[in-house]
A and B are shown apart, each in its own frame.
Chain A
Amino acid sequence: MMGAYLDFIRIRFITMLAYRVNYYSGIVIYAINIGAYYFLWKAIFGEQQELAGFTVAQMTTYVAVSWMARAFYFNNLDREIANDIRDGSVATQMTRPYSYLLVKMMQGFGEGLFRLLLFMIPGMIIVCLIFPVTLPTDPMTWMIYLVMLLFSFLINSQINILTGLFAFFVENNEGMMRMKRVMVDLFSGVVVPIAFFPGWLAEIMKWLPFQAITYLPSSVFTGRTPGSEIAGVFGLQVVWFVVLLVPIWFTWRAARKRLFVQGG
């Protein structure tokens, strides 16, 4: 059975590969984004050496790494699930001896792997050539970061799955999906690191899962998180991963009762 789940990763990867041309433009768009934020932050820093604990070099690296991480963990699982529900194809999925949500997760991961290999890595090389990004030299940091990046993907996908499943309960969850996207980008720290948020908002963010998507792993990678705290930060990601399973399980259960297949 595991073989089947692995196959979903492989097949999504191959399918994405078939449409790879779409992604070349993506690399350019991400490079432009990173460039824009780089110059913006340079202007904000001005003469100052340090802002909210960030040096200019750290900020540049943070911006580049965060955007490239986004290239990996980003997916449209919410939209895919909402579409499956709206057009009723979720029904055929239910006649298969597998878990629908786990299959979706695997497909998301196949897409993630594709984005990692054909988008994130080449994008990172280009960005490193253009901007003064300093990457860590300690292989341990890289290892830890890769694991944390995996959890970024898991937590982001869980949030996507939850958002997508709302299509069972509302006629149109387009608005919710857009709101989610903006919230994830803003609160995860891609646009502005959470250290720059006003005190009360930063405090709230500590209690939400978004920081675990970008802010925590990027902080570890850029060396802003002291070595002694790394275990705790990683633990926080794991906790969020486990906690988010609960609402997904309940939503799925409730959805099965409510399921109304279009075209009765």
Chain B
Amino acid sequence: MLAIDVKDLRKQFNVQKNREGLSGALKDLFKREYTEVTAVKDISFQIPQGEICGYIGENGAGKSTTIKMLTGILVPTAGDLRVNGYVPYKDREKFVAEIGVVFGQRSQLWWDIGVIESFQLLRKVYRVSEADFRKRLNNLIERLDLGDLLNRPVRKLSLGQRMRCELVASLLHNPSILFLDEPTIGLDIIVKTEIREFLKDLNREEGTTILLTTHDLQDIEALCSRVIMLDDGRIIYDGGLEDLKNRWSKGREIHFEFSTQTKLATLQALTGDLDVTWKMDNDLTATMWLPHAINVSDALSKVVGGAAIQDIKIVETNTDEIVREIYRSGSASTESEQQAALKETTVS
């Protein structure tokens, strides 16, 4: 069964235009002008149960808007949308009882009361039996190491502590789908790792479907079998992370450390017949960039003969760079190119 089924989903907003200057402000007073902004442009995708899917894109690409439609907060302008078999905005109260939502940027816990009181309140809101609640809470507390935080008010928690509590709060009713909107934003590396591990276990043990948006691609690398990439309201990539890398990374870098001073010209001369580019980092180290078409051994053999190499390091282009490149080209390229790119990736 599909956890999420989205077809031609669209969301338009009317954004107030503020005209300039005093006369503009006066005009605005009597007749407002609105610009129509399409945040999500007819996207379609399907997520089967038990999948962890990353939803990425630049700021303003429409990620949060999509999540908000999927969780029943926003009413779509057009298109079909089914999550867990429900149309989210229609049967909101019934639907949200079976999902969990965490917005990294805002707290869903009650600011003034103790963490445990928030949990108790949620237990009643979601109508979880006392026995189930105890069992799940104890399990979650142990997993996320919350024991000593329970009696503190939420406003006195650090961001990392709060985030772990938010996760617990979103899972107390054992939801079958978990939506996470930037769950690791602003967290230190230890908490990030802890949360990633936790989510992985959760998915494995409970079969929870997870859809997360993030700007931290390490989240994606650690968790997701699948990535959906959004640009300007459209899906520009939908597939595995490895495919994404293979498709978009054009080459790799080899870092050389030489034992004697080596000139850029010498190096360029050595690899003259290959399509590689050199960059000197300083007198003793240089970086060679070579496309996938060229074998590493071919390139290395040329250099080995002409320079005294102390050390070599081969570096794959990392995901951050790839994605940065896609964002840049994605927003610059025309629509048809994006469509073509999409087709190609889905074929591979």
Contacts and interface: CB of A to CB of B under 8 A. Distances in A.
Do A and B associate with each other? yes
Contacts of B65: 264
Interface residues of B, number: 38
Contacts of B13: 260, 264
A259 B113 contact: no
Given A11-B113, A259-B73, A89 B121 contact: no
B126 interface: yes
Contact of A94 (B73, B120, B126): B73
B74 interface: yes
A95 B106 CA distance: 13
B75 interface: yes
Contacts of A263: 64, 105
Interface stretch (B96-104, B251-259, B332-340): B96-104
A4 B125 CA distance: 5
Contacts of A96: 96, 125
A226 interface: no
A94 B113 contact: no
A7 interface: yes
Contacts of B126: 97
Given A11-B117, A256-B89, A259-B74, A97 B125 contact: yes
B188 interface: no
A95 B71 contact: yes
A91 B113 contact: no
A261 interface: yes
Nearest to B93: A97
A95 B178 CA distance: 12
B45 interface: no
Contacts of A4: 121, 124-125, 127
A7 B73 contact: no
B186 interface: no
Contacts of B105: 263
A208 interface: no
Contacts of B54: none
A129 interface: no
A52 interface: no
A252 to B, nearest CB: 12
B85 interface: no
B216 interface: no
A14 B113 contact: yes
Contacts of A261: 64, 68, 73-74
Contacts of B127: 1, 4
Given A88-B106, A94-B72, 11 more contacts: A1-B127, A7-B120, A14-B113, A18-B112, A91-B106, A92-B108, A95-B99, A97-B125, A98-B93, A259-B75, A264-B64
5 contacts: A1-B127, A7-B121, A91-B68, A256-B75, A259-B74
Interface of B: 13-16, 39, 60, 62, 64-65, 68, 71-75, 89, 92-94, 96-97, 99, 101, 103, 105-108, 110, 112-113, 117, 120-121, 124-127
Interface of A: 1, 3-4, 7-8, 11, 14-15, 18, 87-89, 91-92, 94-99, 171, 256-261, 263-264
